[in-house]
Amino acid sequence: ASTGSPPPSHPPKEGEKKTLAWLAGFLRDWPGPLGPAEPPPWTASTALLRPDETAAELTERARGFLGRRGAPPLLAASLIHAAVSGILQSDLGNFKKQNLDQDEAGDNTSSISPLTLRHFFNKLLEICGEWQKELPALKPSKRYLQISIHATRNTRRKMEDRHVSLPEFNQLFGLEDDVDRAYFAVYDGHGGIEAANYAAAHLHVNVAHHEKLLENPAEALRDSFQKTDEMFLLRARREKLRSGTTGVSCFLVDDKLHIAWLGDSQVMLVQQGKVITLMEPHKPERESRTACVLSPVSHSLSFFFQFTGDLLQKPYISGCADGTSFELTGTEDYVLLACDGFFDAIQPGEVVDHVLEHLTQNHGDGLQTAERLVAAAKESGSTDNITVLVLFLREPKDIVGGGLSREGVGQAEVII
């Protein structure tokens, strides 16, 4: 995150007051570092990690913890970046125990013990104390975004969907240029939650660390699907996991909307009341597949994005994402990401009607839009897990005021 503080002669802005108040409350609850006998306030998702998993694992634990504590999102992202960077730059030799065994791929793993997590928490606490004394300048996004998210287990026994909402992408990864970035994703797990959890923790981290993030974010997004797939396969083999997940991701970079997908979760764009077709989901009945399907033997499996430990199925399941990009003009209303539990029950054109009716009834308040859409899918017969993420690109009240009418379906301008 950027450094510096406002001139002392200027009174703190309202957002800064809330940030300082949160820091004060947090430090009251933890007035000093955790001692050797005190457990950290979170646990690791697995006992063993490879070096390339450490940053994402620590980031995910801290995001969940600070979110539950009600930390302002901009502050939380900046704190996490500073703490993770501090940990990775320190000598972790005393905090890791090398595993003498190797997995079948020959990759060494190391344990992430309570000692490691305690060290990370104490680093986070240390930074909170420093920032309470001198708060850095936390640079917000210049783009208008209002986000509405709702997810339900519905009638299924387990909830296997996951979603990611990162309007603070730059702050989470310490990107200090003048480019606005935001990342959103929906993952629809099957056969267990492990693969969806892994994708939700690692895929955006792989995007952020991709060597071409700055020059070619669309390529970074697509490549990160395969990278995350490969990483999870190593864990799945070691821990005998057999879960999988589909996924769709949306990466906003200034005036470009980059999307990537594998499977039948979908993203759609509405521009001045018209549905813009951005993608064709991967379904069993689709005859062609441009990404790298390794074998046509199992046609029904070859169209699923699957981080999986079932190595008997993996040769027939693609880990390579399709992608496209769209040039934003400022006239777009919103982007919607959702799993097949939603789109199997609600057609894209119906989304426009539901959203407009909801905004009209609620005087332009869009915060509960996703909840309304999930309810509509359930009423239309969906029994699957449902996750809906609506990303308003302009004020919802202006969408109502513009008198939207659905005049048909447009085609996206593909720029890559």
* pLDDT tens by residue, 95-141: 554 443 444 444 556 656 667 788 899 999 999 999 999 999 998 88
Residue 164 parent element (H or E): strand 161-166
Gap between the Cα atoms of 386 and 226, Å rounded? 25
Render the burial of 380-399: b for 16+ CB within 10 Å, e for the rest.
eebebbbbbbbbbbbebeeb
pLDDT in tens, 39-85: 888 877 776 788 889 899 999 999 999 999 999 999 999 999 999 99
Q: How far apart are CA 131 and CA 98, in angstroms?
A: 34
Q: Give the residue with greater pLDDT, 193 vs 6.
A: 193
Quote the mean pLDDT of the chain.
Answer: 83
Percent of the chain with pLDDT over 90: 63
> Which two three-digit tokens encode residue 268?
């759609």
Q: Which domains does the chain have, with CATH numbers?
A: 14-92+108-133 (no CATH), 146-283+300-404 (3.60.40.10)
- The residue ranking higher by pLDDT, 163 or 298, is 163
Amino acid at 277: T
- pLDDT value at 254 more than 50: yes
pLDDT at site 197? 95
Q: Is the pLDDT of residue 12 over 60?
A: no
Q: What is the pLDDT of residues 195-233, one digit of tens each?
A: 999 999 999 999 999 999 999 999 999 999 999 999 998
Query: Which amino acid makes up residue 382?
Result: S
* Alpha carbon separation from 162 to 193, 200, 230, 415 (Å, rounded): 8, 7, 19, 29
Q: Measure the CA–CA gap between 335 and 271, rounded to whole angstroms.
A: 9
- The pLDDT score that the predictor gives to residue 40 is 87
